[in-house]
Amino acid sequence: MTVFLVVLIVSFALLAGALWGAYLHLGDRTEGFIVAMAGGALIVSVMDELIRPSTESAPLWIVVGAVAAGAVVFTGLDVWVKRAVSGAGGFGLLLAVMLDGIPENLALGTALIGAGPLEVAALAGSIFLSNLPEAAGGARTMTSDGMSKAKAVGLWAATATLLSAAALGGYFGLESASDEWIAAIRCFAAGAVTASLATEVFPQAFREDRYWTGIAVTAGMLMALLLGQLGG
């Protein structure tokens, strides 16, 4: 039951964000602050919930190699997607979220294996905060380009369903996998998420919120630290 509840909460962020983007507007600076805070939280979560625990069940060379591979693969696919959907506006962001969200949710699923709900609170909370403004920005762009609000929200709801399937696949599909395989997958996802922070999250936040970005990132890091301590 825990895995379904956590996956539902995290994926709901995409639907809530789409509704926010289609029907509300909080201002660029406010949204930039939220994006930066989510990125700061993900920095802590990636290290504490994905990379560091993996060093206890896999050799260091597997951990390092998987993290590096995740960053390289994400960057390559990100470049390809950007070129393929150049000028696609909200659709481009939708594809980027799917590319970023699949490893994130796969990691969330594997992190839930053998763990209590509080042990993955930081990761789940960080992904929630990351998905929320991304979906809002995508839905807003889609509606600005002439798409109906209902259709934009529907597309993001479908994306949320796909990412939920990735998280559940990570949990049920890898439940019997060896500790080394789970560690490698978590680290691959960690590398992909870290690359997405550098190329997507922080640049977007700085464009919208300027120099408050550093404060927002720090606030997110502290929030994730506190959530992590709850599970300690």
pLDDT digits 0-9 by tens, 85-122? 665 555 666 676 676 677 767 777 777 776 655 556 66
In which band, very low, low, confident or very high, does the pLDDT at 67 lie, cut at 50, 70 and 90?
very high
Total domain count, the chain: 1
pLDDT at 178: 85
Between 57 and 77, the higher pLDDT residue: 57
Taking 80 as the threshold, does the pLDDT of residue 21 lie above it? Answer: yes
pTM, whole model, 2 decimals? 0.77
- The four Cα atoms 137, 75, 104, 48 give a dihedral, to 10 degrees, of -110
3-state secondary structure of 138: helix
Q: What's the mean pLDDT in 165-176?
A: 82
What does the block give as tokens for 137? 């920005």
In 46-89, where does DSSP find H-type helix?
52-54, 60-84
Helices 60-84 and 90-111 cross at an angle (nearest 10°) of: 160
Mean pLDDT (the chain, rounded) = 79
pLDDT at residue 215, rounded to an integer: 92
As a whole number, mean pLDDT of residues 139-168 equals 84
SS3 content of the chain, % helix, strand, coil (to 5): 85, 0, 15
Q: Which of these, 109, 114, 130, lies nearest to 4 by C-alpha position?
A: 109
pLDDT at position 3 over 80: no
pLDDT value for 197: 82
Domain with 191 in it: 2-230
Q: Is residue 232 pLDDT above 70, yes or no?
A: no
Please tell me which residue, 63 or 192, carries the higher pLDDT value: 63
